[in-house]
């Protein structure tokens, strides 16, 4: 049966002749349909082509899908889009590159098109495992590719490489000392290799290479949104993150005010002052009301770093939450609970997760304002059953990302093969009824393609074939797609109007280039979008449609 109201509204767009997967709960609407009508940014009807023929007659535009699959618009539930957008237009992007030679060619091309002395950078979003050579570029190779430009390339958060001009621009020489929280590599003769390790070493080149004026940063926001739409993304949940300050949000707000923001952005705001985290969150939650914003841009909570002293990075190095940092975390949690703020907290290691839960449970015992409030943990890769049971009792969700696609071998070396095969323990999460949100943790710690993440959720695969996840901790295709649509909406409290194709829901949809329900596993990873729709407005349309 169709869901058609008695009075027909004016209609902006009708899609017909497709396979529409609605993600409707039983009894709330059809699980599958062939047509959908949109008006005023909302879905107004879902049903068969015949059912929706009256809407098509009133529509400003009708698109015949010729049997293509239609899904709710994809929503990356944990990504660092704000940070990536601000420098998007001045950075190179190596996500799709398959060799060092190809990557170096992009540096040469950039050098040929930019004025001498201008920075060329690739900050994250790639890993040596995707390259045929299985390695990263060297200082000498970057010198050869762009001798007249400072160049900085950073492999995820693992290692950065500066060429000679980049070292000079950063004021680094063979006599330089290691920066705080960082390390400079040297060869046997004491010469800098150009390699850098640690956030303290990364900060200098990042600040220089990615500095952009307001116009360029705003252009980056628009270009990033267009590229995300090409992959079927209509929404992102931004996790704040390291080195992100309040002023870094100016470009996305400027684009939003201009009416040109091409996706729904939901913002979790992290503490930005090391040693001043409680004051940061106190000021934030005093000056801003929970869920401040509109349907396109909204502040939805505190995280993923409410306290920099409780951040275990990628879980590859030993880490213990200091007692002083823990007590300050409790103060931050208390502020969020009492002031009605949602929290989403980074925890890769099980010990870190345990301390986060200690803080949550203490404040829940004091206030009764934590459980059932839609709070979440980001990553939980090493989570034990005991800590997952604690999470379930609090009614919290977990945001999982496909970072291990690129780094499976690294986790095997550090955690061991058996532990890595169940990282993260998705099967236990599902058994306990914990809501799972799919995402990437891009745009530095991973690729931004949602389909690579969906492929990983389904197959458990990695690029180097190491650390593949056991079948018990994988999702079937429908559940993986739900983690990017229906379930992703839960983490921002929007499950009643986003992530499904039903009347009254936001008219956010995508038409994948290949049907994700019937394609091969390899094809699944390479899907893009033939048609992406945000609030009933087409944001991407390929020549195929």
210: Cα separation from own chain's centroid: 20
Q: Do 141 and 277 lie in a common domain?
A: no
Mean pLDDT of 108-124: 96
Cα–Cα dist 204/159, whole Å: 14
* Whether residue 426 has pLDDT greater than 60: yes
Cα–Cα dist 400/454, whole Å: 11
Angstrom distances, CA of residue 514 to CA of 124, 144, 174, 521: 28, 41, 52, 11
Q: Do 173 and 268 lie in a common domain?
A: no
* Whether residue 355 has pLDDT greater than 50: yes
Q: What percent of the chain has pLDDT over 70?
A: 98
Query: Using an 8 Å Cβ cutoff, are 20 and 33 in contact?
Result: yes
Residues 6+ apart with CB under 8 A from 119: 90, 149, 150, 151, 152, 166, 169, 208, 209, 210
Cα–Cα dist 460/470, whole Å: 7
Q: Do 315 and 448 lie in a common domain?
A: yes
Q: Give one word for 48, left, alpha or beta, with left for phi > 0 and alpha for psi -120 to 50.
A: beta
pLDDT (tens digit, 9 = 90+) per residue, 86-95?
Answer: 999 999 999 9
Positive or negative: CA dihedral 455, 457, 459, 460: positive
Mean pLDDT of 70-91: 96
Mean pLDDT of 361-381: 98
pLDDT (tens digit, 9 = 90+) per residue, 209-257?
Answer: 999 999 999 999 999 999 999 999 999 999 999 889 999 999 999 999 9
Q: Does 106 map to a domain?
A: yes
Q: pLDDT at position 8, please?
A: 58
Element (H, E) at 357: helix 350-367
* Whether residue 368 has pLDDT greater than 70: yes
* Whether residue 130 has pLDDT greater than 80: yes
Q: Do 291 and 162 lie in a common domain?
A: no
- With cut-offs at 50, 70 and 90, classify the pLDDT of residue 1: very low
- With cut-offs at 50, 70 and 90, classify the pLDDT of residue 6: low
What CATH number has the domain bearing residue 355?
A: 3.20.20.140
DSSP state letters, 377-411 = EEE-TT--HHHHHHHHHTT-EEEEE-THHHHHHHH
Cα–Cα dist 346/334, whole Å: 17
Q: Do 339 and 199 lie in a common domain?
A: no
Cα–Cα dist 507/429, whole Å: 30
Q: Do 316 and 436 lie in a common domain?
A: yes
Q: Do 355 and 467 lie in a common domain?
A: yes
* Whether residue 3 has pLDDT greater than 60: no
- With cut-offs at 50, 70 and 90, classify the pLDDT of residue 10: confident
Mean pLDDT of 422-443: 97
Q: Phi and psi of 462, rounded to 5°?
A: -135, 160
Q: Do 222 and 193 lie in a common domain?
A: no
Domain count, the chain: 2
* Containing structural domain, residue 357: 214-532
Q: pLDDT at position 9, please?
A: 63
Count of beta carbons in the 10 Å neighbourhood of residue 96: 12
Q: Do 195 and 230 lie in a common domain?
A: no
Q: Do 144 and 275 lie in a common domain?
A: no
Q: Does 260 map to a domain?
A: yes
Beta strand 19-21 with 32-33 is antiparallel
Q: Do 256 and 201 lie in a common domain?
A: no
Query: Using an 8 Å Cβ cutoff, are 510 and 531 in contact?
Result: yes
Name which of 406, 356, 415 is nearest 381 in CA terms.
415
Q: Do 349 and 391 lie in a common domain?
A: yes
What CATH number has the domain bearing residue 123?
A: 3.10.310.70
Q: What percent of the chain has pLDDT over 90?
A: 96
Q: pLDDT at position 26, please?
A: 94
Task: Tell me which of 149, 179, 209 is where a domain ends.
Answer: 209
Task: Tell me which of 178, 209, 240 is where a domain ends.
Answer: 209
pTM, entire model: 0.94
Under DSSP, the state recorded for 506 is: B
Q: pLDDT at position 242, please?
A: 86
Mean pLDDT of the chain: 96
Element (H, E) at 16: strand 11-16
pLDDT (tens digit, 9 = 90+) per residue, 156-171?
Answer: 999 999 999 999 999 9
Cα–Cα dist 6/412, whole Å: 59
Q: Does 408 map to a domain?
A: yes
Q: Does 13 map to a domain?
A: no
* Whether residue 7 has pLDDT greater than 80: no
Task: Tell me which of 163, 192, 209 is where a domain ends.
Answer: 209
């Amino acid at each position: 049966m169709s869901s058609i109201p008695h009075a027909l509204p004016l209609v902006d767009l009708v899609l017909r002749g497709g396979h529409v997967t609605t993600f409707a709960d039983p009894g709330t609407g059809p699980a599958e349909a062939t047509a959908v009508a949109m008006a005023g940014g909302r879905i107004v009807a879902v049903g068969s082509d015949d059912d929706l023929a009256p809407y098509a007659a009133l529509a400003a535009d009708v698109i015949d899908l010729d049997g293509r699959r239609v899904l709710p618009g994809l929503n990356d539930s944990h990504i660092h889009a704000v940070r990536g957008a601000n420098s998007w237009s001045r950075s190179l992007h190596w996500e799709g590159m398959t060799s060092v030679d190809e990557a170096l060619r992009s540096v040469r091309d950039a050098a040929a098109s930019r004025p001498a002395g201008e920075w060329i950078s690739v900050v994250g979003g790639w890993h040596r495992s995707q390259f045929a050579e299985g390695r990263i570029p060297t200082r000498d190779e970057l010198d050869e590719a762009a001798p007249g430009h400072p160049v900085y390339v950073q492999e995820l958060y693992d290692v950065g490489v500066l060429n000679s001009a980049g070292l000079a621009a950063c004021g680094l020489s063979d006599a330089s000392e290691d920066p705080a929280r960082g390390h400079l590599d040297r060869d046997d003769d004491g010469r800098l290799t150009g390699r850098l390790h640690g956030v303290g070493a990364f900060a200098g080149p990042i600040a220089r290479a990615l500095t952009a004026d307001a116009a360029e940063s705003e252009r980056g926001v628009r270009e990033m949104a267009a590229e995300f739409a090409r992959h079927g993304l209509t929404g992102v949940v931004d996790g704040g993150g390291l080195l992100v300050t309040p002023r870094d949000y100016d470009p996305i707000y400027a684009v939003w005010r201009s009416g040109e923001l091409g996706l729904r952005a939901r913002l979790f705001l992290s503490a930005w002052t090391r040693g001043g985290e409680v004051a940061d969150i106190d000021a934030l939650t005093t000056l801003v009301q929970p869920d401040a914003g509109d349907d396109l841009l909204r502040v939805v909570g505190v995280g993923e770093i409410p306290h920099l002293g409780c951040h275990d990075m990628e879980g590859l190095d030993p880490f213990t939450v200091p007692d002083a940092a823990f007590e300050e975390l409790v103060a931050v949690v208390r502020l969020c609970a009492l002031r009605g703020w949602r929290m989403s907290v980074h925890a890769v290691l099980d010990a870190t997760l345990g301390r986060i839960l200690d803080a949550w449970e203490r404040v829940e015992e004091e206030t009764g304002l934590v459980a059932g409030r839609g709070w979440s943990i980001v990553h939980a890769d090493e989570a034990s059953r005991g800590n997952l049971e604690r999470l379930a009792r609090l009614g919290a969700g977990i945001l999982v990302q496909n970072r291990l696609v690129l780094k499976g071998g690294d986790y095997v070396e550090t955690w061991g093969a058996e532990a890595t095969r169940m990282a993260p323990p998705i099967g236990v999460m599902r058994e306990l009824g914990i809501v799972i949100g799919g995402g990437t943790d891009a745009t530095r710690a991973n690729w931004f393609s949602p389909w690579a993440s969906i492929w990983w959720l389904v197959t458990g695969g990695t690029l180097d074939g190491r650390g593949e996840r056991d079948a018990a901790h994988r999702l079937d295709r429908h559940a993986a797609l739900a983690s990017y649509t229906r379930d992703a909406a839960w983490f921002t409290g929007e499950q009643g109007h986003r992530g499904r194709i039903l009347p009254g829901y936001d008219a956010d949809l995508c038409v994948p280039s290949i049907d994700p329900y019937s394609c091969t596993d390899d094809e699944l990873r390479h899907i893009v979008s033939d048609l992406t729709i945000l609030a009933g407005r087409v944001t991407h349309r390929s020549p195929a449609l």
